[in-house]
Amino acid sequence: MNEFMKLLSLSKPVIQAPMAGGPATPPLAAAVSNYGGLGSLASGYLTPETLKRQIEETKQLTSAQFQVNLFVPEKREKVSRKKIEDWQNKIPLSQSAELETDEEQDWNDFYEKIDIVLNSGVKVCSFTFGVPPVDAVKELKKRDCCLIGTAVSVDEAVLLEEKGMDIIVVQGSEAGGHRGAFLHTKGEAAVGLIALIPQAADHVSVPVIAAGGIYDKRGVAASFALGAQGVQLGTAFLACMESGTSAVYKQKLIEAAETDTRLTRLFSGKPARGIVNQWMEDRRIDEDNALPYPLQNTLTKPMRKQAQLEGNPESMSLWCGQGVRAATKQTTVKELMDQLVPAGVIL
Ligand SMILES: Cc1cc2nc3c(=O)[nH]c(=O)nc-3n(C[C@H](O)[C@H](O)[C@H](O)COP(=O)(O)O)c2cc1C
């Protein structure tokens, strides 16, 4: 048993990625924790009340540990009225989007969720899109909460360790969903996992967890060989029966190949990897001109919601990693966990 598994009392070194937007349901998180991994709730886009309810529901389904993931709020960029209007003309249904939230509201929401974690007895809390503020880290540590940060580069990993994170998830460019990146880089920040794991493991002393494109025991073994102490999988769990992924999204995952995804800012303003669909193709020309996060996200929300209601995958965000060809059918958490870490395998 390695340090990471000991820290979280796991029998399998597997984290189910927190996946905001619906897939990371209490039944999914609980099933993963019940099979010896770390199940995750994703608080991004949830109201504090819904998060509280999900924590209670998960507790009913498992007595094992699970984590809550939070988005660290970012500085909002100023955007001209003209640019917003240009996008409103391009995005179907965007006129009905509510635009009024600001950075202060983001922070209020963040601290409300931190309070919920503090009062819920949840002992693992993870972050993406940045370094959590000192006061939040201090309060969580006072309650013996284990803290997990997300890094896409060695510099981010080092900073997260310095700021008190106990575990670092390194997210390779293969990963599905949003990039957790938060530091400016001179060149491309899309570092592949095979390059990222050993370099991060050489520069931090806390356990490094590998995320991005991992789908089976070979990905787990490779991650360990490169210096990781655990793996975090998103896409593979999306295809599980217990996830909240819609039927049409699951079908797209089952049909997709490794070359069907790309990083895009068109849905949210922040780079995220998803299956290419009609909306992405139609607006490809505007890719470099997307509004900053979360403005683009707010404007595309009514379109995405409507597409979800209609079961139309062509205007939904279909977040997905490059390991997706391995998703050939819907599985159960138990089947997935057993094939990731077969019984008797010592890592
Ligand atoms: C649908 C989806 C939603 C995601 N939402 C979050 C999130 O809310 N917080 C987070 O830290 N990571 C999120 N991620 C990224 C995952 O934590 C992880 O880095 C990624 O899924 C790993 O790559 P894989 O999908 O190829 O396994 C999301 C990923 C997906 C696929």
Q: Given pLDDT bands bounded at 50, 70 and 90, which one contains residue 344?
A: confident
Q: Which atom of ligand 1 is nearest to the CA of 234?
A: 21
Ligand 1 atom with least separation from CA of 169: 19
Atom of ligand 1 nearest to the CA of 43: 8
Is the confidence at residue 309, as pLDDT, over 80? yes
List the residue whose alpha carbon is closest to atom 3 of ligand 1: 19
C-alpha 319 – ligand 1 centre gap (Å): 8
Output the CA angle 165-145-189, nearest 5 degrees.
30
Residue carrying structure tokens 């635009």: 99
**Of residues 50 and 189, which shows the higher confidence score?**
50
- Give me ligand 1 centre to Cα 151, in Å: 12
> Which of 340, 290, 245 has the alpha carbon at shortest distance from 42?
245
Q: Compute the distance between CA of residue 347 and CA of residue 326 in angstroms, rounded to an integer.
A: 22
Ligand 1: centre distance to CA 176 (Å): 6
Q: Which atom of ligand 1 is nearest to the CA of 324?
A: 26
Rounded to whole angstroms, how far apart are CA atoms 156 and 170?
A: 9
Say what the pLDDT of residue 313 is.
Answer: 98
Asked whether the CA dihedral 155, 157, 113, 242 is positive or negative, the reply is positive
Residue nearest to atom 9 of ligand 1 (CA): 18
Atom of ligand 1 nearest to the CA of 213: 26
- Which pLDDT does position 343 carry in this prediction? 81
**All domains of the chain in start order, with CATH:** 3-340 (3.20.20.70)
Between 94-108, 269-283, 309-323, the lowest mean confidence (pLDDT) is in 94-108
Write out pLDDT tens, residues 113-171.
999 999 999 999 999 999 999 999 999 999 999 999 999 999 999 999 999 999 999 99
- What is the whole-number distance in angstroms between the Cα of residue 178 and the centre of ligand 1? 7
Ligand 1, atom 5: closest residue by C-alpha: 19
Q: What are phi and psi of 297, to 5 degrees?
A: -60, -45
Closest CA to 272 of 169, 159, 128: 128
- pLDDT by residue (tens digit) across 156-190? 999 999 999 999 999 999 999 999 999 999 988 89
CA–CA separation, 10 and 236 (whole Å): 19
Mean pLDDT confidence for 75-91: 94
Distance 86 CA to ligand 1 centre (A): 30
The tokens describing 194, both together, are 């095979």
44 contacts 70 by C-beta, under 8 angstroms: yes
pLDDT beyond 80 at 238: yes
Residues with CB under 6 Å of ligand 1 are 17-21, 23, 42, 44, 69, 128, 150, 171, 174-177, 180, 211-214, 232-236, 238, 319, 321, 323
Asked if residues 228 and 201 have their Cβ atoms less than 8 Å apart, the reply is yes
Both tokens of 341, joined, read 């870490």
- How far does the centroid of ligand 1 lie from the alpha carbon of residue 80, in Å? 31
Instruction: Tell which atom from ligand 1 comes closest to the C-alpha of 321.
Output: 26
Please state the rounded mean pLDDT for residues 101-116: 95
User: What is the pLDDT averaged over residues 274-300?
Assistant: 97
Let me know the angle formed at the C-alpha of 197 by 189 and 44, rounded to the nearest 5 degrees: 60
Which of the listed residues 319, 325, 336 should we mutate to test ligand 1's pocket, taking the one with most ligand atoms within 8 A of CB? 319
Specify whether the CB–CB gap between 200 and 208 falls below 8 A. yes
Backbone angles phi, psi at 168, to 5 degrees: -120, 125
Which protein residue's CA is at the shortest distance from atom 6 of ligand 1? Answer: 19
Query: Where does the pLDDT of residue 99 fall: very low under 50, low under 70, confident under 90, or very high at 90 and above?
Result: confident
Residue holding tokens 């990471």?
4
How confident is the model at residue 287, as a pLDDT?
96
pLDDT band, residue 342 (cuts 50/70/90): confident
Report d(CA 203, CA 155) in Å as an integer: 9
Residues forming a β-bridge with 69 = 42, 126
